[in-house]
Amino acid sequence: MIRECPGILPDSITKVLDKLADEWATSAIRPKLDKEVTKNWDNLIKSWTNDETLPLFIRRPNLGRGSVIKHETGRDLVPVDNTPAHWVFNMADEYGHMTIEELFNKVNDRDVPVAMVLSIEERRNNLFKTGNPRIMLSSKGWQVCHKKPVKLGPNGDVKNIPINILKEHFVRLMIPSNIFLVPKQLGALGELPQFTNRMMDID
C-alpha cells in the first residue's frame, strides 16, 4: 500500500533544490535584463494599468484570445495566453527603454500580440494581432516563468471580478521584474517554490 506523502521533505532533498535554484539564479547562462530597463518597463506597464482607456490583458485563454470583454466598470478586458509576457521581455531586451507614448501607440494600434496561433472561432472575434515567432522566447529554447503567481482567482465571470484584482493580475503577468526564464526542456523547474523564492531575491 502506498504511504502518504510527507508534508516536509528531508533536508537531503530540499538542500539540493535550493542549491540548484541558486546555481540558476546566478548563472551567466540565464538571460537577464538591465536593471534600468526593467525599471522602465515596470513603470510603463503600471502606467498602462492605470489608464482606463487601455484594455487589461487577462490570462484566461479559454474565453477567446484577442476578443474584448466589457468589465462592469466599463474597462475593456482582453483574454490572452502567455504571449504578451514573451513580447514584453523580448521588447525590453531588444530595444531597451521605451516611452509611454510609444507603448500606448502600440497598444492603441493593437500591435501587442495576444497569442501565437488562434482557432478559427478566435480569429472571427480577434481584435489584436498574433505574435511573430521571432518574439517567442520558446523559439530560442526558453520558457517564461513568473516569480509571483499569475493564475487569476477567484473563479467566475471576469466581468464581475473586482477591477483591482484584475489590475494586479495584469501587472504580475506583464512586468519584467516578475519574469524569469528557464530552459524550455526543464520548464517545470520554474514552478518550484525554491526557484520562485530565489528569483525574488535577484534582478
pLDDT digits (tens, 9 = 90+) for 16-45: 999 999 999 999 999 999 999 999 999 999
**Do the domain assignments include residue 164?**
yes
Owning domain of residue 185: 31-200
Radius of gyration of the chain (CA): 18
**Do the domain assignments include residue 8?**
no
DSSP string across the chain = -PPPPPSS--HHHHHHHHHHHHHHHT-TTS----HHHHHHHHHHHHHHHH-TTSPEEES-GGGTTT--EE-TTS-EEEE--SHHHHHHHHHHHHH----HHHHHHHHHTT-S-SBSS--HHHHHH--SPBPPGGG-GGGGTEEEEESS-----S-S-GGGS-HHHHHHHHHHHH-GGGEEEEEGGGGGGGGSHHHHHHHHT--
* Sign of the alpha-carbon torsion through 75, 79, 189, 181: negative
**Do the domain assignments include residue 12?**
no
**Do the domain assignments include residue 60?**
yes
Quote the pLDDT of residue 154. 66
**Do the domain assignments include residue 61?**
yes
Statement: residue 77 has pLDDT above 70: yes
**Do the domain assignments include residue 125?**
yes
Q: Which residues contact 61 (CB under 8 A, 6 or more apart)?
A: 79, 80, 81, 115
**Do the domain assignments include residue 43?**
yes
Averaged confidence pLDDT in the chain = 92
Statement: residue 157 has pLDDT above 80: yes
**How far is the C-alpha of 28 from the C-alpha of 16, rounded, in Å?**
20
**pTM of the full structure:** 0.91
The grid cell for 168 is 494586479
Mean pLDDT check: name the lowest of 78-82, 119-123, 165-169, 190-194.
119-123
- Look at the chain and report how many structural domains it folds into: 1
**Do the domain assignments include residue 5?**
no
128 close to 66: Cβ distance less than 8 angstroms: yes
**How far is the C-alpha of 143 from the C-alpha of 188, rounded, in Å?**
9
